[in-house]
Chains A and B, each alone.
Chain A
Amino acid sequence: MSDYVLELSGIRKTYRGGIEALKGIDLRVPQGCVYGLLGPNGAGKSTMVKILTTLIRRSGGNGTMLGKPIGDRKTLQQVGLLPEHTQFPPYLTGRQVIEFAAGLQNVPSALTKERTDMLLKKVSMTDSQHRKIKSYSKGMKQRIGVAQALVSNPKIIFLDEPTDGVDPAGRKKFRSLVRELRDEGRTIFINTHILSELEPIVDRVAIMTKGEILGEGKLDELRTEKTGYVVGFEGQLSVESRSKFLDGGLEVEGGTVRLPSTNALDAQPVIDRIRKEGLVVTDLSLKSQSLEDLFIGLVGGTSSPPPLPANSTKPPKTPQA
């Protein structure tokens, strides 16, 4: 089998009325990683997850999941999903929800009890397992949601906005659970717009907006592009110097000048010019771009994606079936 659990080529979705939610998505998700799909609301993230989990029919393109064509029912046994708007039957208890999911996923009866106990423990819901879902908080529902997604021992898990409405302690717990699942060799596909949640756990990200993927790759590789020295100063830079910096590809914002270089020697001419103007240099540090900066850089008002670093991958086109 391929090293990729998910390979998509030219996936398109056009809703009635001609609204293009996905405009030909090419994507490869390697096995055993935490993969983040980032994008603002309406970017098409949920549409993509819904296509992969058969809730929506695609308008075009093709792809495979775990080596089988998308939509293959048997493959879904090895797929777990926590939907964006989790809604379980309110008359069931937490335990019954997991057992219900086990029944739907054809988990053998002999395994169901053992696995349910294990999952309840994993998501710290053993004490509340016999309470009805309707009495649960949002965070508890999310934890039961994660547990039911794991009941068939899936190889790939889709988590659609998993920490939406969850308290900080719950988020921390969630992050450690995701790491644990990755260490077990599973692939976790997280779909979110809460960037700070993703940053500590994600291995690869794809940034998406308006139905297109603008950038894809390992987080560190994507960051490298915008990592560089930042020179801080006090005072007002002259118009002449400001123009010179901007012309040289530097970013000037308030009392900082950002260089697209990790070489300290490249900062020397900038420091000299600032001092020549009689200003005081207050800071010189190597700063890497946050995921948020990266996201805003790619999504915020850009009509075309900036070039990706050499070692990050724009997913290659796979031949159409």
Chain B
Amino acid sequence: MKPFLTLLLESYRGLRSETIFWVTVGLSVVVATLFLSIGFNEKEISFLFGATNIESDFSGSGTRLVQEVVYIMIFTNLIAGGWLTFIAIILALISCASIFPDAMKEGPAGMLMTKVPSRLQVFLAKLTGSLFFVFIQVGLFVVIVFVAFRWRIGVWNFSVFWYVPAVLLVFLNLYSFMVLLGVMTRSVMTSIMLTMLVWGISAGIDWAISIQEAAYQTSQSFEFGEPTISEGAASEVGAPTEEGMREEGKLKRSKMNESEGDRQILSQIETLRIIHSFFPKNSPIMASAEKKLVLDGVLASAGGGAVLKDLKNEGEFEDAMNKLTPNDSIFYSIGTSCIFSFVMLSIAGWFFCQKDL
């Protein structure tokens, strides 16, 4: 156990010695503090602890709910959507990219791999050290955000802590691929570039699925959403007229053609989903954390007697949220992502243990 802990400590020291570690932690604190600096009163939203104000009417019933929704939206769209999902992860990937290629260089390998710990232990210690780095970074950020929620809207919103495992899992998905590349090529730059490429492809497929689904839904609402004039006329008279029948025939042909198009869209969506199943599900994982935060936040306010109390009881709000989040279940997203990471790390670990150094 002692050798493993020694390796962990050394990994932590190594990261702490990197300038980018402190830059990342510093930026996290700055972004979280900016969020903390946003405040509300009945007439305006203030930024930078009141240094700048924007007029906004928050009077009337449901004020607290509206304020909370606005605050959550700022968090989910800007802070989580921009910082946590992209910039923080990119910085973490860059910070940790050199860990494995460096460990396999002749000098450090002579120090690490010729002693009591097995190569697998070294591999696991390096991996744990990297995850610990991200944990510190996100943990610190989320704690400040947690305090911000309490201070600004008076809610202890524990759901914000879902972002810690969510970001860790998203990081692990990408990092596992990066580790595999790093171990195989021993090139930091190659591993960063190819990981970003895979992330881009994954996000692109995700985006393409959303577009296709939106197209399909639009097509469906056009086809079945409104009754046609001919259908209305026929139903009014009670018996089909010749003209009505001709119109109906045209409509049926038209529906058949459109169904062909729909089938194509569905087939494309299915193909994209199959391809996407091999990639990590970063967007759905982050969307799940977001959903949890929004639901808990709004329902907490609704519990106080606000306007959405009925919605809460009927589950309509949750249904509405579900429509906004991806179709795949969270278990599918987490499960397939974990499998992806496990497979990547297993191959990387095997190479790490077998390679001549």
Contact = CB atoms under 8 A, between A and B. Distances in A.
Contacts of A89: 10, 13-14, 17, 108
A102 B89 CA distance: 35
B109 A55 contact: yes
A202 B255 CA distance: 94
A255 interface: no
Nearest to B122: A104
Interface string A75-92: 011010101111111111
B6 A87 contact: no
Interface in B86-135: 105-118
The number of chain A residues touching the other chain, given as a range, is 20 to 34
Identify which of A55, A91, A105 gathers the most chain B CB atoms within 10 Å of its CB.
A55
Contacts of A73: 116-118
Interface in A94-117: 100-101, 103-106, 109
A86 B7 CA distance: 18
Nearest to A109: B2
A57 B111 contact: no
Nearest to A46: B106
B354 A55 contact: no
A112 to B, nearest CB: 10
A101 B116 CA distance: 10
B10 A100 contact: yes
A54 interface: yes
B23 interface: no
Nearest to A55: B357
A86 B114 CA distance: 13
B356 A57 contact: yes
A83 B115 contact: no
A306 to B, nearest CB: 33
Contact of B357 (A56, A74, A148): A56
Nearest to A16: B356
B116 to A, nearest CB: 5
A50 interface: yes
A81 B118 CA distance: 16
Contacts of B115: 76-77, 101, 104-105
A53 interface: yes
Contact of A85 (B3, B13, B17, B106): B106
A76 B356 contact: no
B3 A86 contact: no
A86 B357 contact: no
A105 B16 CA distance: 24
Nearest to A56: B356
A259 B280 CA distance: 78
A54 B356 CA distance: 9
Contact of A104 (B105, B106, B116, B357): B116
Interface string A21-58: 00000000000000000000000000000100111110
Given A53-B114, A87-B111, A104-B115, 11 more contacts: A54-B113, A73-B117, A74-B116, A76-B114, A81-B110, A85-B110, A86-B110, A87-B106, A88-B107, A88-B108, A103-B2
24 contacts: A55-B109, A55-B357, A57-B354, A73-B116, A73-B118, A74-B116, A76-B114, A79-B114, A83-B106, A83-B110, A84-B106, A84-B110, A85-B107, A87-B107, A87-B108, A88-B108, A91-B17, A92-B13, A103-B2, A103-B9, A104-B3, A104-B7, A104-B112, A104-B115
| 10 A-B pairs with the lowest CB-CB distances in the bound complex, closest first | A87-B107, A83-B110, A103-B6, A91-B17, A104-B115, A53-B114, A56-B356, A55-B357, A81-B114, A85-B107
